[in-house]
Structures are given as C-alpha cells and as structure tokens.
C-alpha cells in the first residue's frame, strides 16, 4: 500500500481546546505502514481521570499533553508519553482522520509539566513533524509522533517486550481528561491507581487490550480526554524509583460508570511494531524491558 502524504501545520503553544489561527504550512509525512480505517469522531467533541489525585510536579518528566488541531480549527486533547528524546507514544484515534475535517493540521506537545501552560515557560513545547499509526481501537490503538526538535527528559518509560508486567495487580493511569462525565477539562495532570480486570468484560480483545478499573464502583477511572495517555506498572515492585513500564495506552474510557472498565492498548503486543514504526519515521528508539530475558 502506498503511504499517504499530507501536510501538518506546526503550532505554537495554544490553550486546551481553543481555536488557533492558521499558519504557514510545513510538509511532514504520515508514514503509516498498516493503518486501517480510523475511528470516526464528531468534530468538536472533547476527548480525565475520575477520582485519584493531582500529580506531583516533576514526577513524570516524560508525560505529554497533546493538542491535535484540524482544518476548521477544531482541536482535540489527548495524552501521550515521551518514550525517547524525539518520539511521543499515543493512541491512533488521537491522530485519525475525522469526517469532514480530514487529517490533523497541527500537533502540539507539552512535555513534563502538571499544568501544560508551564511548559511554554520552560521551553518544553514541541511540534509534531511525522507520525505513524496503528490499526485503531480494538486492533492496535497506538501511534508514534516524531517531534520537530528533541527533548531530553531525566528518564523515559520502558516498553515491555513480553507480558511479564501485564498482570501487575495495580497499575497507574495519568491524564488531563474530565474528572466527571459532564465536567470541564482540568488544567492539572491527574493520576489514579486502578486494579487490572480480567474475565468476560475483557475477553474479546484480550490479546491486544488490558482492562483496568473497578466495575462495582463509580468513583475512579479514565474519562474523556485521557485517550492516548499511559497505563503504568512500577518497574521495581519495591517502589524504588523512577522507572516505570508502560503496559497500556488509554483507548476506551469508562468515566467510572458502574459495570464499566477502561480499555487500554496492550503495549507488549505491539512493542516491536512500535519500534519498527519509529525507524520508519527516523526517530530515536524507545528503551525496552524483557522479563523473560
């Protein structure tokens, strides 16, 4: 299949979900090798963490808030992770073509800050240059974005090469999404610890998805705006430190509704494809971890 080519406009820092004036065009490339039909979304529909707590400044130097703009100046909010100095890992649906809007025209990344407005002051804002997409929700909801300039974080999350971390009893989700189903988007990054869920609710796509949340409760979970953000397991079970393993990418949110759980792309099922996509867009490879090696 021929790789489609299109133009992205490179944006300066903008406020969440605000319209931004058009700028001069640059010419980055969508180098997707195996993208399927993108997830349909309604233009203007916002895409948080329910429950949990505000994240501590500096705890996640690689966390990314993505603002993705389309040609009518509609913007979407998504999460992401800086997995190397110039590559952001997010979800396919965050960059997918939108009916009547086409492909993204601008991708802006705010890196490492609890409040994204502080990123501009610290020169921690980058623009998307090239990207490659997975197949979409339920079939590989991941994407990688190469930044226009490198950003050197203190550390980066590790990508698992096997399922060793996928059965961690409790995992952590991060995001700037809604804190209630009908709430406004928060300005501060939030975190929440969730139990891994198995069984019938997650059986259909268990090979490519992880489920997390509490279907009996309605007080914690991921919500609209958290898509693309990370689901994390501690690299050291003793909690020593700063190394995190990214076991999931937020894909389908539950907004802490009863009998619902969040669905996350199982990163271990796609790490090798993600690394291959990074090579395709001439990015720096991610660091990986192998529990079987």
Q: Answer yes or no: is pLDDT of 193 > 80.
A: yes
Total domains in the chain come to 1
| In a domain? residue 186 | yes
| In a domain? residue 195 | yes
The mean pLDDT value for 96-103 works out to: 89
Residue 100 or residue 238, greater confidence: 100
| In a domain? residue 170 | yes
pTM of the entire predicted model: 0.82
| In a domain? residue 259 | yes
Interval 44-86: pLDDT, tens: 333 346 667 889 999 999 999 999 999 877 688 899 999 999 9
The mean pLDDT value for 233-261 works out to: 76
CA quadruple 216, 257, 224, 261: dihedral, nearest 10: 40
| In a domain? residue 16 | no
| In a domain? residue 209 | yes
- What pLDDT sits at residue 184? 64
Domain of 163, CATH number, reads 2.40.10.10
| In a domain? residue 118 | no
Q: Answer yes or no: is pLDDT of 179 > 70.
A: no
The mean pLDDT value for 171-185 works out to: 74
Model confidence band, residue 262 (pLDDT cutoffs 50, 70, 90): confident
Highest mean pLDDT of the ranges 35-39, 200-204, 285-289: 285-289
- What pLDDT sits at residue 157? 96
Neighbour-count burial of 152, counting CB atoms closer than 10 A to its CB (0-12 exposed, 13-18 middle, 19+ buried): exposed
Interval 104-133: pLDDT, tens: 999 999 999 999 889 888 899 999 999 999
Domain span at residue 245 reads: 159-269
| In a domain? residue 223 | yes
80 vs 89: CA distance, rounded Å: 5
């Amino acid at each position: 299949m021929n790789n489609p080519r299109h133009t992205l406009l490179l944006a300066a820092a903008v406020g969440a979900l605000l319209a931004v004036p058009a700028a001069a065009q640059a010419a980055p490339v969508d180098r997707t090798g195996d993208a399927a039909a993108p997830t349909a979304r309604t233009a203007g529909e916002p895409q948080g963490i329910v429950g949990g707590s505000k994240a501590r400044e500096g705890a996640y130097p690689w966390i990314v808030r993505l603002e993705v703009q389309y040609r009518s100046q509609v913007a979407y909010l998504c999460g992401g992770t800086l997995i190397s100095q110039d590559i952001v890992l997010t979800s396919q649906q965050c960059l997918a073509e939108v009916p009547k809007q086409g492909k993204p025209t601008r991708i802006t990344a705010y890196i490492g800050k609890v409040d994204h407005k502080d990123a501009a002051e610290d020169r921690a804002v980058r623009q998307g240059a090239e990207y490659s997409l997975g197949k979409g929700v339920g079939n590989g909801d991941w994407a990688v974005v190469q930044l226009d300039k490198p950003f050197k974080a203190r550390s980066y999350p590790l990508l698992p090469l096997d399922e060793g971390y996928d059965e961690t009893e409790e995992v952590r989700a991060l995001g700037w999404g809604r804190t209630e189903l009908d709430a406004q988007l928060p300005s501060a990054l939030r975190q929440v610890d969730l139990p891994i869920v198995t069984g019938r609710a997650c059986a259909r796509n268990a090979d490519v998805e992880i489920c997390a949340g509490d279907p009996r409760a309605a007080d914690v979970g991921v919500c609209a705006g958290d898509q693309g953000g990370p689901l994390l397991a501690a690299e050291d079970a003793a909690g020593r430190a700063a190394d995190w393993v990214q076991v999931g990418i937020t894909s389908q949110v539950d907004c802490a509704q009863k009998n619902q759980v969040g669905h996350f792309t199982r990163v271990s099922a796609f790490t090798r494809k993600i690394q291959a996509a990074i090579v395709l867009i001439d990015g720096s490879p991610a660091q990986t971890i192998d529990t079987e090696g």
